[in-house]
Each structure stands twice: as structure tokens, then as C-alpha cells.
């Protein structure tokens, strides 16, 4: 009876706090008004973009917009207030979260056909099973990068037009308009939230075509939030959305031509990998039943953001230990020992960093880590975008370099070398050398340490933990993770160098 | 109670699901071995095999005690050690102490009706994890790691040596904490806490009971009150909607020469499920019942 009472007193609490719901409203310590002088990713000239001059604040059109704000503020429902609180944390942040959710939702490998082959997603017919996309780690890293980079360029353009037109916010022009989120001296035309929404929705159509209804619903919520919060008029939102869509065209064109669409390869490509493998006869083989084709073997050919394709090859690390070497045998034995003698804290580390199917992948994990840090920094919307762009371009390029290494050497997994090795998490369906987690984590930690130097070794410690989790999980050799971290760091340094030269600096 | 894809069924002579009472001051000590396995499971309502797991099996070794506090109130405590294994693929099994369970069984009503006797039992039970095992490792986790409290009502009608019984149980489950700080169900959650849906179950049983031999057939329906389906080819998750309909039998034999010694054996099979394995379960137990006070 006592047990029952004791159990009830702790089990009767069912409310769970989601930490992203606790994020405060964006309240930038600096407006970064000079962001239109920062170096964009693809944009070359703001004059190629059209944002018509806003109506005068005395015009009937503007006054009608102001009246719309006042009417919307009169009877705010609890849901509308919750929407204001949610979106006030920032557009770049919330859209990054939405992307992470969609990546997790679509990160499930296709189920086999009756004949033991596997169907592939088809972007031309995205609703057919398996739905497009299968947002595996390389796909996800690329998706985050495109959206982040495009948001960044779009916001640079937004800042340009804000500085051009210098329209003051609705709550400054009419005392009866209440600002329901922190006020700002930032010119409000075009709306930065609508710019982010416009550019993001256009790219999401390409990246997550089956989610259009959900994405549009979020877009509607966000636009209405700006009006209800008293910080943008409909005209400012329309102009912002249009600007965002114009910038999206540049990035969508790049995405269509970046070779990712062919990354899946063909049966001939898959077969050829066995002949080019570094260790003849000991090449990677799928450990799944039925055997699944390797994940995106030609992702190595995708065009990186931070360097050219020759650099991808130059970043490729030296060959892994061959299976007949003493070093290799030693590494197999080490994995076997972690497989057999695992501590609960190692299990926890493996699970924490697993980022396997049904998750937002390692790149998304690092975005989540970054978001938890960035919310404490009082960044402007444009600095949020710039920092996520640096981080996610590094993650995508780390994926490209890592995939190049994996498929150039085509090296086996520990459980292949020793079938008695049992793993603490699923074995990813691609070669071992080098570890993807280690590349992603090395790159991310390098970028985040540059952006937030006061955090000391926090991010490199996290990257080390992420990398080692793959050894503890018995799915990688020690050299996979150690070399992967080094390569990831090198890729991250390209993003740091870009950051040092883009005019934004750190703050 | 069938709890999860790992499935562990424990049944004993005096369980929290039957109308048998132990007299005042008597103690029953039990050791039960349970084996369970499946090679097909339901992903939502889609039944499939699991070539990357082969046959998923679990072995449980349970020690338990039941004590007659009065002639109408029994108390019990038990603890299993559980190990799991997959015959194919690379995933390791899990092994550890699972959950400590305890119950109080109260014979609330006994009424002679016609030729038979009608009883009503109320059984309050609870369980808490006995180790820090990893619950978010389905289908190879040894349990779900929630703290549970449950209330069961059991009606039994017995004429001579034949009985029929029916019961309903409601299980309230605590949230659990997993090793990740975010997870996707049907939406993204940024927390390491997982809300576990509550569970209910119905059972009907009928059989024969004598001093020497019992035989009983049981049909059980387990419903998770909430939860979500495993998506095609996704991993299972502790807060899935795990439902099952099980058919089972229980046999008990009491030795006449050695007073108090009993053997039980039984098994059950999942006829229909949702987000659970189609488990076949068998168990065997040895019981020793004795009076803790000298008879005067």
C-alpha cells in the first residue's frame, strides 16, 4: 500500500516542459544595421532585387493596414497569444526547428520490396512510398545548409532595403498600436520575419515537397503573428515575403544543379565501389537483411559551399589500416572490448548521440545545441541567420568530404571484421572510415567555438563525446573517429575563415 | 501484464489476476522462469517480420513472496532479472534487474449465490524499476522503466470445482526519462522526459480448481490509452500504442506428499497486436507455501 502511494505521488505529475517553448522573445543587443555590408553567400548585387518603395505612413493603404493591426489586437485568443510567444523567439530559430522536425519525420529508410530490393524516393512523385525525401544525414545536412544560407542572404537584402526606406514600426506611427514583443529601432519595411518566411517556404517546397500544407500553415501563423504583435503591417509582410522568394530563386537554382539529385548512384556505381576499395576482398558490405544499397555514394560529388571540389579531394585523409595489419587487429579488439564491457554511462553516451533513424541527424543535433546557446546571446535576426549559415554550410561540406572519404576507401565496419561484435546502436548503412558523427561534430565544434569563444572547450568536449560514442557503440574503429574529428575540424576552419572575412565579426 | 515489444509475462499460483487467497500468516515463496520470443511484430497494424533482428527472445528469472496478512488481505512482492537477445543483426541484448512489483489483494466480498460462491477482489499494485536499465532501446530493452500504479477489480464465480472469472485493470504510468534530450513521436519534443500513456486490460478466464490440480484458460486484452504507432520501418518507442490480445493457459500441481510444494506451468500467445511482437511465452514456477506460525 505504501509503495502504491509512493509511486502515485511521483507518477501523477505528467506535465513535461519542452525547453524550446521556454525560449525568450528576441531582443537584440545590437541591430546590426550594417549587415547590408556583410558578405553574402550567393547574392552579388541588391539591385537585382525588387522591393518597391513603401506607401507613405499617411496614405490610406497604410492607415488601413494600421486598422487591421488594431482590429486583430482587440480580441486576442489564448492560442493567438501562444502563437505570439512562440514566434517572438525569432524566425530563423523557429524555421530551423521546423526543419529539424521534418528531417526527423522523414529520416526513415525505405522498407524492402517483396523481391528483396529497395524502392527509392522519387522527387518527381514525392507522395509515393517511399515518400521523398529520405532525409538521411547527408540529405539533412544539405537541406539545413541551403535554408540557412538562403535566409542569411535574404536578410542581408532585407537590411539593405530597411536602410534604404527607413520605415518606422507601426507602434511608433500610431500610439493605439501596442507592441506585444520587445520594441526595436530597426526599420520595419520590409518585414524581416516575412523575408525569412518567404525564402524558407520556397526552398522547403523543393526539400520537403510532401509537407507543403504544414509549411504553409506555419507561414500563415508567422505572418499573422507579426500583425497581431503590432510590429509589422500587411504591406511590410507582403514586401518581405516577395523579397524572400526572389532570393530563394538563386538558391533553388543552385540546389537543382548541385548533383545531389544523382547522389544515390546506380547498381553499376554500387558494384564498381567494390573494385576500387582500398582493401581488396575486405570492402564494405551492407549488414542489413536484405542487403541495402549504400547510402548516397555520390554525395561526394555535390558542390560544396565553402570550397571547390578539388579541395574536397585534398581534405581526404590518408588510407585506413588494412585488414592484415597489426594496427587493424588491435582496433578490432578494442571495439570488441567496448562491445562486451559496456558501462551504463557509455550506453547513455551512445544513445544521446545516436542521431539515427527518426531523428534530426547529427547536423540537426548540432543545430539544436547551437540554438540553445544562441538564445542566450541576444542576437539580431540577421546574426542568427549568419551564424546558422556558417554552421550549416560547414555541416554540409563536412558531409561531402566525409562521404568522399567513405566511398573512396569503402572500408568495412567492425561487425564485418568480427561478426561477434554486437553493437549498442544500429550500424549505419555505409562504410566505416571515417565516422560521419566525428566529421559533423568536429566541423560544428570548430564553428561554434569561433562564434562563442567564451564557452571555452565546451563544444570540442561535446564533439569528442559524440565521436567517441561511435566507438563505445561498437560501430566504428578508433581511427574512424579520431581521423574524422581532424577532418571535420579542417572543414569547420573554412567556415571560420569565411566568418572572419564576412564583415559580421563575432559578438 | 503484457507490457511491450520485449514482452515479459509473469504468472504464478497466487497472482494479482486470480481469486486465490493465501490464509493468514502463510507465506508463499516463488521462483518462476519465463521465456518469451517472437519473429513477427506489428508496425502499427501492419504485420511484418524482422530480418535484422531474427527471433527476439527474453528470459526472466523471478523471485517473489506472497504473505497472508489476514484471511482476506494478501500482500506480495517480486523482482525479475531479465535478459533479451536478437538472433540476427548486430544489436546487443540487454540484461538487468527489471522492476520491483508489489500488490495488496483484498477479498472484498464473498457471497453464496445459488450453488456457487461469488467473490470480488480489489487488487492494488505498483512497480518501480530496480535498476537503471535503458528503456529507449526497443525492442531489446528489458522494460519501459515507468513507475506504475494499478487497480484491478476481479469477479470470480465458482461452482464446485469449476470457475469463471473476469477482471478489469487500470494502470497509471509515470513519465520516463530517456538518454536523449529530444525525440520525435508524431511531433518533435525537446526534453528527455517521455509521457507514457496509461494502460488498461480486461481478462476473462475459466477453469478447474482442486486442492491438487488447477487448469485455467485465460483471454486477455491489453489496451494502451493513447500512444502512437510505429511508422513504416521506424524504430519502436516506449510511448507507442502497444495493444495485444492474448490467449493463455495456466496449470498448477500441488504435491500431496510434500505439503505446500507446488509447480506451475503455463503459456500464452499474442493472437493480435499493435506495435508489439507476436510473442509466444512459456513459464514454469516452483512455489512453497508454509505457515509462519506454529499451529496451536
A453-464 per-position pLDDT tens digit: 999 999 999 999
Nearest to A118 by CA among A129, A106, A126: A129
Chain A environment of B134 (Cβ under 8 Å): 344, 347-348, 351
In SS3 terms, chain B reads as CCCCCCCCCCCCCCCCCCCCCCCCCEEEEEEEEEEEEECEEEECCEEEECCCCCCEEEEEEEEEEEEECCCCEEEEEEEEEEEEEECCCCECCCEEECEEEEEEEEEEEEEEECCEEEEEEEEEEEEEECCCCCCCCCCCCCCCCCCEEEEEEEEEEEECCEEEEEEEEEEEECCEECCCCCEECCCEECCCEECCCEEEEEEEEEEEECCCEEEEEEEEEEEEECCECCCCCCCCCCCECCEEEEEEEEEEEECCCCCCEEEEEEEEEEEEEECCECCEEEEEEEEEEEECCCCC
> Closest-CA residue in chain A for B100?
A3
When scoring B48, B182, B228, B231 by the number of chain A Cβ atoms within 10 A, the one with the most, hence best to mutate, is B182
Chain B environment of A110 (Cβ under 8 Å): 233
What does the DSSP 8-state code read for residue A473?
T
The predicted structure's pLDDT at residue A3:
45
Fold of B26-291: Porin (2.40.160)
Residue A185 contacts residue A234 (beta carbons within 8 Å): no
When pLDDT is averaged across residues A242-251 and rounded to a whole number, the result is 98
Digit-coded pLDDT (tens) for A38-82: 999 999 999 999 999 999 999 999 999 999 999 999 999 999 999
> Closest-CA residue in chain A for B145?
A11
Cα end-to-end distance, chain A, whole Å:
58
Nearest to B137 by CA among A101, A467, A341, A350: A350
The answer to whether the Cβ–Cβ distance between A111 and B134 falls below 8 Å is: no
> Closest-CA residue in chain B for A421?
B90
- Asked whether residue B246 carries a pLDDT value surpassing 80, the answer given is yes
Q: Of B91, B180, B232, which has the smallest distance from its Cβ to A351's Cβ?
A: B180
The predicted structure's pLDDT at residue A395:
99
> Closest-CA residue in chain A for B151?
A4
Digit-coded pLDDT (tens) for B156-175: 999 999 999 999 999 999 99
Report d(CA B101, CA A109) in Å as an integer.
39
Question: Could you tell me the pLDDT band of residue A175, with boundaries at 50, 70 and 90?
Answer: very high
When scoring A2, A4, A20, A371 by the number of chain B Cβ atoms within 10 A, the one with the most, hence best to mutate, is A4
B136: Cα within 13 Å, side-chain hemisphere: 26
Query: A123 vs chain B: nearest CA distance in angstroms?
Result: 19
Nearest to A196 by CA among A142, A255, A144, A152: A152
Query: B200 vs chain A: nearest CA distance in angstroms?
Result: 16
The answer to whether the Cβ–Cβ distance between B233 and A348 falls below 8 Å is: no
Domain boundaries, chain B: 26-291
* Total Cβ atoms within 10 A of residue A60: 9
A262-501: which CATH architecture? Orthogonal Bundle (1.10)
The predicted structure's pLDDT at residue A491:
99
The predicted structure's pLDDT at residue B259:
87
Q: Of B104, B173, B232, which has the smallest distance from its Cβ to A108's Cβ?
A: B232
Query: A101 vs chain B: nearest CA distance in angstroms?
Result: 6
The answer to whether the Cβ–Cβ distance between B190 and A20 falls below 8 Å is: yes
Chain A environment of B225 (Cβ under 8 Å): none
Q: Of B178, B190, B233, which has the smallest distance from its Cβ to A108's Cβ?
A: B233
- Asked whether residue B117 carries a pLDDT value surpassing 90, the answer given is yes
The answer to whether the Cβ–Cβ distance between B149 and A11 falls below 8 Å is: yes
Report d(CA A256, CA A198) in Å as an integer.
19
Beta strands in A417-473 (DSSP E): none
Digit-coded pLDDT (tens) for A388-409: 999 999 999 999 999 999 999 9
What does the DSSP 8-state code read for residue A130?
S
Question: Could you tell me the pLDDT band of residue B15, with boundaries at 50, 70 and 90?
Answer: confident
C-alpha cell at B234: 521506424
> Closest-CA residue in chain A for B186?
A105
User: What is the count of residue pairs from A and B with beta carbons less than 8 Å apart?
Assistant: 130
Q: Of B93, B188, B195, which has the smallest distance from its Cβ to A16's Cβ?
A: B195
The answer to whether the Cβ–Cβ distance between B124 and A4 falls below 8 Å is: yes
The predicted structure's pLDDT at residue B46:
98
Chain B environment of A373 (Cβ under 8 Å): none
The answer to whether the Cβ–Cβ distance between B175 and A101 falls below 8 Å is: no
Q: Which residue did the predictor score with more confidence, B11 or A492?
A: A492
Residue A232 phi/psi, 5-degree rounding, is -145, 145
Q: For chain A, what percent of residues have pLDDT higher than 90? A: 96
When pLDDT is averaged across residues A474-484 and rounded to a whole number, the result is 98
When scoring B92, B189, B228, B234 by the number of chain A Cβ atoms within 10 A, the one with the most, hence best to mutate, is B92
The answer to whether the Cβ–Cβ distance between A108 and B231 falls below 8 Å is: yes
When pLDDT is averaged across residues A323-334 and rounded to a whole number, the result is 98
| Residue A391: strand, helix, or coil | helix
- Asked whether residue A507 carries a pLDDT value surpassing 90, the answer given is no
Residue A484 contacts residue A439 (beta carbons within 8 Å): yes
Nearest to B170 by CA among B125, B205, B237: B125
- Asked whether residue A304 carries a pLDDT value surpassing 80, the answer given is yes
When pLDDT is averaged across residues B126-144 and rounded to a whole number, the result is 98
| Residue A411: strand, helix, or coil | strand
Digit-coded pLDDT (tens) for A408-466: 999 999 999 999 999 999 999 999 999 999 999 999 999 999 999 999 999 999 999 99
Average pLDDT, chain A: 96
Nearest to A367 by CA among A88, A102, A96: A96
A299: Cα within 13 Å, side-chain hemisphere: 25
Question: Could you tell me the pLDDT band of residue B295, with boundaries at 50, 70 and 90?
Answer: low
Residue A89 contacts residue A25 (beta carbons within 8 Å): yes
Query: B133 vs chain A: nearest CA distance in angstroms?
Result: 8
Chain A environment of B232 (Cβ under 8 Å): 108, 111, 129
Report d(CA B107, CA B124) in Å as an integer.
12
Chain A environment of B174 (Cβ under 8 Å): 7, 10-11, 13
When scoring B39, B77, B90 by the number of chain A Cβ atoms within 10 A, the one with the most, hence best to mutate, is B90
In SS3 terms, A141-161 reads as HHHHHHHHHHHHHHHHHHHHH
The predicted structure's pLDDT at residue B9:
34
| Residue A228: strand, helix, or coil | helix
CATH number of A28-256: 1.10.606.20
Q: Which residues contact A275 (CB under 8 A, 6 or more apart)?
A: none
Domains A28-256 and A262-501 share a fold: yes
> Closest-CA residue in chain B for A13?
B174
Nearest to A170 by CA among A158, A180, A161: A180
Report d(CA A387, CA A391) in Å as an integer.
6
Domain boundaries, chain A: 28-256, 262-501
Q: Of A7, A14, A129, which has the smallest distance from its Cβ to B126's Cβ?
A: A7
Query: A311 vs chain B: nearest CA distance in angstroms?
Result: 35
Chain B environment of A109 (Cβ under 8 Å): 233
Q: Of A8, A110, A290, which has the smallest distance from its Cβ to B149's Cβ?
A: A8
A167: Cα within 13 Å, side-chain hemisphere: 29
The predicted structure's pLDDT at residue A4:
45
A30-35 long-range contacts, CB within 8 A, separation 24+ = A30/A380, A30/A383, A30/A507, A31/A184, A31/A185, A31/A186, A31/A380, A32/A159, A32/A380, A32/A382, A32/A383, A32/A504, A33/A159, A33/A163, A33/A186, A34/A503, A35/A155, A35/A156, A35/A159, A35/A380, A35/A382, A35/A383, A35/A386, A35/A504
The predicted structure's pLDDT at residue B14:
67
C-alpha cell at B141: 530493452
> Closest-CA residue in chain A for B182?
A359
The answer to whether the Cβ–Cβ distance between B184 and A105 falls below 8 Å is: yes
Q: Of A16, A105, A109, which has the smallest distance from its Cβ to B233's Cβ?
A: A109
The answer to whether the Cβ–Cβ distance between A359 and B188 falls below 8 Å is: no
Average pLDDT, chain B: 93
B108: Cα within 13 Å, side-chain hemisphere: 12
C-alpha cell at A439: 566529421
The answer to whether the Cβ–Cβ distance between B91 and A12 falls below 8 Å is: no
Residue with grid cell 530493452, as numbered in its chain: B141
Residue with grid cell 571495439, as numbered in its chain: A335
Residue B229 contacts residue B240 (beta carbons within 8 Å): yes
Chain A environment of B136 (Cβ under 8 Å): 351
Digit-coded pLDDT (tens) for A161-174: 999 999 999 999 99
C-alpha cell at A364: 540537426
The predicted structure's pLDDT at residue B294:
76
Query: B4 vs chain A: nearest CA distance in angstroms?
Result: 19
What does the DSSP 8-state code read for residue A112?
P
Chain A environment of B104 (Cβ under 8 Å): 1, 4
C-alpha cell at B280: 509466444
Q: For chain A, what percent of residues have pLDDT higher than 70? A: 97
Report d(CA A343, CA A341) in Å as an integer.
7
H helix or E strand, kind and range, residue A198:
helix A192-207
The predicted structure's pLDDT at residue B11:
30
CA A80 to chain centroid, in Å, comes to 28
What does the DSSP 8-state code read for residue A124?
T
When pLDDT is averaged across residues B144-166 and rounded to a whole number, the result is 97
The predicted structure's pLDDT at residue B6:
34
Query: B188 vs chain A: nearest CA distance in angstroms?
Result: 6
Stretch among A503-507, B13-17, B237-241 having the lowest mean pLDDT: B13-17
Residue B137 contacts residue A356 (beta carbons within 8 Å): no
Chain B environment of A287 (Cβ under 8 Å): 89-90
Chain B environment of A421 (Cβ under 8 Å): 90
When scoring A2, A3, A21, A120 by the number of chain B Cβ atoms within 10 A, the one with the most, hence best to mutate, is A3
The answer to whether the Cβ–Cβ distance between B128 and A4 falls below 8 Å is: no
- Asked whether residue A370 carries a pLDDT value surpassing 90, the answer given is yes
> What are the DSSP calls for A290-359, one per residue?
SPPPPS-GGGGGSPPSSS-HHHHHHTPPPPPPPTTSHHHHHHHHHHHHHHHS--HHHHHHHHHH---TTS
The answer to whether the Cβ–Cβ distance between A110 and B233 falls below 8 Å is: yes
The predicted structure's pLDDT at residue B256:
87
Chain A environment of B139 (Cβ under 8 Å): none
Q: Which residue did the predictor score with more confidence, B227 or B1?
A: B227
| Residue A423: strand, helix, or coil | strand
Residue A336 contacts residue A297 (beta carbons within 8 Å): no
Amino acid at each position: 500500500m505504501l509503495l502504491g502511494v509512493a509511486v502515485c505521488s511521483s507518477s501523477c505529475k505528467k506535465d513535461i516542459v519542452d525547453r524550446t517553448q521556454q525560449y525568450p522573445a528576441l531582443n537584440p543587443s545590437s541591430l546590426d544595421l550594417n549587415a547590408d555590408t556583410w558578405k553574402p553567400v550567393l547574392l552579388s548585387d541588391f539591385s537585382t532585387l525588387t522591393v518597391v518603395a513603401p506607401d507613405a505612413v499617411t496614405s490610406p493603404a497604410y492607415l488601413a493596414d494600421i486598422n487591421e493591426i488594431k482590429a486583430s489586437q482587440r480580441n486576442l485568443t489564448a492560442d493567438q497569444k501562444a502563437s505570439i510567444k512562440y514566434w517572438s523567439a525569432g524566425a530563423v530559430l523557429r524555421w530551423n526547428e521546423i526543419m529539424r522536425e521534418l528531417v526527423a519525420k522523414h529520416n526513415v529508410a525505405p522498407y524492402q520490396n517483396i523481391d528483396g530490393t529497395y524502392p527509392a524516393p522519387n522527387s518527381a512523385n514525392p507522395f509515393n512510398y517511399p515518400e521523398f525525401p529520405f532525409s538521411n544525414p547527408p540529405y539533412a545536412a544539405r537541406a539545413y545548409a541551403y535554408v540557412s544560407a538562403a535566409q542569411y542572404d535574404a536578410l542581408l537584402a532585407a537590411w539593405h532595403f530597411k536602410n534604404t526606406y527607413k520605415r518606422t514600426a507601426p507602434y511608433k506611427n500610431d500610439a493605439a498600436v501596442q507592441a506585444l514583443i520587445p520594441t526595436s529601432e530597426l526599420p520595419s519595411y520590409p518585414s524581416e520575419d516575412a523575408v525569412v518566411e518567404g525564402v524558407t517556404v520556397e526552398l522547403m517546397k523543393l526539400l520537403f515537397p510532401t509537407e507543403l500544407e504544414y509549411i504553409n500553415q506555419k507561414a500563415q501563423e508567422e505572418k499573422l503573428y507579426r500583425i497581431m504583435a503590432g510590429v509589422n503591417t500587411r504591406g511590410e509582410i507582403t514586401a518581405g515575403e516577395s523579397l524572400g522568394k526572389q532570393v530563394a530563386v538563386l538558391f533553388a537554382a543552385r540546389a537543382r544543379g548541385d548533383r545531389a539529385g544523382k547522389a544515390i548512384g546506380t547498381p553499376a556505381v554500387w558494384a564498381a565501389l567494390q573494385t576500387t576499395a582500398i582493401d581488396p576482398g575486405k570492402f564494405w558490405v551492407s549488414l542489413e537483411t536484405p542487403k541495402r544499397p549504400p547510402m548516397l555514394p555520390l554525395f561526394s560529388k555535390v558542390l560544396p559551399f565553402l570550397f571547390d571540389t578539388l579541395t574536397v579531394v585534398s581534405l581526404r585523409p590518408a588510407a585506413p589500416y588494412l585488414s592484415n595489419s597489426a594496427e587493424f587487429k588491435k582496433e578490432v579488439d578494442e571495439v570488441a572490448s567496448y562491445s562486451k564491457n559496456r558501462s551504463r554511462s557509455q550506453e547513455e553516451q551512445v544513445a544521446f548521440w545516436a542521431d539515427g533513424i527518426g531523428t534530426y541527424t547529427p547536423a540537426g543535433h548540432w543545430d539544436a545545441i547551437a540554438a540553445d546557446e544562441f538564445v542566450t546571446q541576444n542576437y539580431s535576426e540577421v546574426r542568427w541567420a549568419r551564424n546558422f549559415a556558417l554552421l550549416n554550410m560547414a555541416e554540409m561540406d563536412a558531409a561531402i568530404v566525409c562521404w568522399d572519404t567513405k566511398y573512396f576507401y569503402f572500408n568495412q565496419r567492425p561487425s564485418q571484421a568480427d561478426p561477434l561484435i554486437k553493437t549498442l546502436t544500429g550500424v549505419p548503412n555505409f562504410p566505416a572510415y571515417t565516422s560521419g558523427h566525428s566529421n559533423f561534430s568536429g566541423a560544428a565544434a570548430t564553428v561554434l567555438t569561433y562564434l562563442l569563444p567564451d564557452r571555452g572547450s565546451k563544444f570540442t568536449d561535446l564533439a569528442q563525446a559524440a565521436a567517441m560514442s561511435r566507438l563505445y557503440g561498437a560501430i566504428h574503429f578508433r581511427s574512424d573517429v579520431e581521423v574524422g574529428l581532424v577532418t571535420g575540424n579542417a572543414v569547420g576552419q573554412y567556415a571560420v575563415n569565411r566568418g572572419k572575412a564576412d564583415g559580421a565579426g563575432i559578438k | 501484464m503484457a507490457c511491450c515489444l520485449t514482452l515479459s509475462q509473469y504468472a504464478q499460483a497466487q497472482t494479482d489476476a486470480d481469486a486465490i487467497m493465501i490464509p493468514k500468516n502463510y507465506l508463499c515463496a516463488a521462483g518462476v522462469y519465463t521465456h518469451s520470443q517472437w519473429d513477427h511484430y506489428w508496425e502499427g497494424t501492419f504485420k511484418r517480420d524482422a530480418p535484422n533482428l531474427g527471433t527476439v527472445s527474453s528470459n526472466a528469472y523471478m523471485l517473489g513472496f506472497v504473505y497472508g496478512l489476514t484471511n482476506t488481505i494478501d500482500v506480495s512482492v517480486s523482482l525479475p532479472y531479465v535478459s533479451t537477445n536478437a538472433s540476427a543483426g548486430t544489436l546487443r541484448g540487454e540484461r538487468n534487474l527489471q522492476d520491483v512489483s508489489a500488490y495488496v489483494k483484498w477479498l472484498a466480498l464473498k457471497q453464496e449465490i445459488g450453488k456457487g460462491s461469488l467473490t470480488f477482489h480489489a487488487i492494488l499494485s505498483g512497480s518501480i524499476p530496480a535498476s537503471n536499465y535503458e528503456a529507449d532501446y526497443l525492442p531489446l530493452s528489458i522494460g519501459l522503466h515507468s513507475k506504475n500504479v494499478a487497480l484491478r477489480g476481479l469477479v470470480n464465480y465458482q461452482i464446485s470445482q469449476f470457475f469463471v472469472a473476469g477482471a478489469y485493470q487500470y494502470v497509471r504510468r509515470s513519465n520516463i526519462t530517456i538518454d536523449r534530450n529530444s525525440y520525435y513521436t508524431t511531433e518533435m519534443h525537446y526534453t528527455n522526459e517521455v509521457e507514457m500513456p496509461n494502460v488498461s486490460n480486461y481478462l476473462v478466464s475459466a477453469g478447474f480448481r482442486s486442492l491438487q490440480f488447477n487448469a485455467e484458460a485465460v483471454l486477455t486484452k491489453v489496451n494502451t490509452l493513447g500512444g502512437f504507432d510505429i511508422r513504416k520501418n521506424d524504430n519502436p518507442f516506449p510511448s507507442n500504442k502497444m495493444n495485444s490480445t492474448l490467449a493463455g493457459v495456466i496449470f498448477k500441481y500441488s504435491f500431496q506428499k510434500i505439503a505446500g510444494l507446488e509447480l506451475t506451468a503455463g503459456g500464452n500467445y499474442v493472437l493480435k497486436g499493435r506495435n508489439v511482437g507476436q510473442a509466444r511465452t512459456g513459464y514454469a514456477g516452483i512455489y512453497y507455501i508454509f505457515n509462519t506460525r506454529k499451529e496451536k
